[in-house]
Structure 1
Amino acid sequence: MASELAELAGLAASTVVTGMATAGWETVQQAMGELWRRVHPERADTVVAELGEARDEVLQARRNGAERAEQAERELVGEWQTRLRRLLAANPEMVPELQRLIDELRPIAREEEPRANSVTMTATASGRSRITMSGRDINITKG
């Protein structure tokens, strides 16, 4: 059970940290604040403020380059994973709430703003040319 809580907390932390640098940041902040208010209402405002500080760190690191951004984000994911794991260990009834939070925030995290190391591809084809470009996974079937 402990490893499952750690895995769930890690997924949630990654989703939250990734969502910090998106246009949906306010939704991330609000969802985490609500989660904490259910269990520790006296700490919720502090957690929300700390999320804001973490967001500032992520944005500053991204301005300083991809390598710094990746390091900062890894550190923040570790920090928030620990916090969320402790929250779940003390309040196992919050597992479904955290899963709901992940499901709610995952689309926001996918809207991540392009990083400095993003790739832009353009191509021009004429006649019977065929162009195949991929930034990631690709499946090609002849038809």
Structure 2
Amino acid sequence: MDPVVLAAGSALVSAMATDGWQQSRAAVVEWWRRRRPDRADDVGSELETVRAQVLAAREQGDEDTEQALAGSWRLRLQQLLSEDPALADELRRLLDEHLAPALSDGDRTRHRPIIMKAEASGNSRVYQAGRDQHITGS
């Protein structure tokens, strides 16, 4: 799955539980309207339904439900990108300009995409990690 999709889907669901949700929601619906005008109103309604589920999950400390909801939106966003890969830059702008600013500093860091590339040849090894890394053995 595209890293920007992973970050945007997670940030979208996390933004639902913030004070800046209405601005984020408006930006998402407008973004969707430019991509799929016939679905924009439905997406707006679905976002409100999911927001209620996110708030209930947070109230109950149910992280699994919140992750499942984020996964659902990641799949929808990935489908859009599969149909039109050029949308990746626009999705990144939506994330950077509207979703990420609504998040707390901790959530913003957690939902930042990490892109790593490595190349090894011969007998070399590559170790990469997005966070902690513990290497044992030889």
| TM-score of the pair, normalised by structure 1 | 0.69
**2-side partners of 1:44 and 1:52: how far apart?**
13
Q: Deviations over 1:6-49 (max 9, x none)?
A: x2111000110110000001112111111211111000010111
Asked if structure 2 preserves the Cα contact closer than 8 Å seen for 1:16 and 1:109, the reply is: no
CA–CA separation in structure 1 for the residues paired with 2:104 and 2:86: 27
Q: Which 4+ runs in 1 deviate beyond 4 A?
A: none
Residue 8 (structure 1) aligns with = 4
Query: 2:85 matched to 1:85?
Result: no
Contact 1:36 1:43 in 2 (8 A): yes
SS across alignment from 2:18 = coil
CA contact (8 A) 1:22 1:111 kept: no
* Structure 1 portions without partners, runs of 5+: 113-143
CA RMSD between the two structures: 1.7
Partners of 2:49 and 2:17 lie apart in 1 by 12
What is the one-letter code of the residue matched to 1:60? A
Q: Tell me how far 1:57 sits from its aligned partner.
A: 0.3
Following the alignment from structure 2 to structure 1, what is the Cα–Cα distance between the partners of residues 46 and 103?
Answer: 19
Aligned residue pairs total 106
Residues 13 and 80 of structure 1 are in contact (CA less than 8 Å); yes or no, is this contact kept in structure 2? yes
Instruction: After TM superposition, give the deviation of residue 111 of structure 1 in Å.
Output: 6.5
Question: What pairs with 1:74-113 in structure 2 (closer than 5 Å)?
Answer: 74-104=67-97, 105-110=99-104
Q: How does 1:8-87 map to 2 (within 5 A)?
A: 8-64=4-60, 66=61, 68=62, 70-87=63-80
Offset, 1:80? 0.2
Provide the TM-score with structure 2 as the length reference: 0.71
Change (3 A) 1:111 1:25: farther
Percent of matched pairs sharing the same residue: 41
- On the 8 A contact 1:61/1:72 being kept in 2, the answer is yes
Distance 2:84 2:43 in 1: 17
Q: Distance in 2 between matches of 1:99 and 1:62?
A: 26
Q: Which runs of 5+ in 2 are unaligned?
A: 107-138
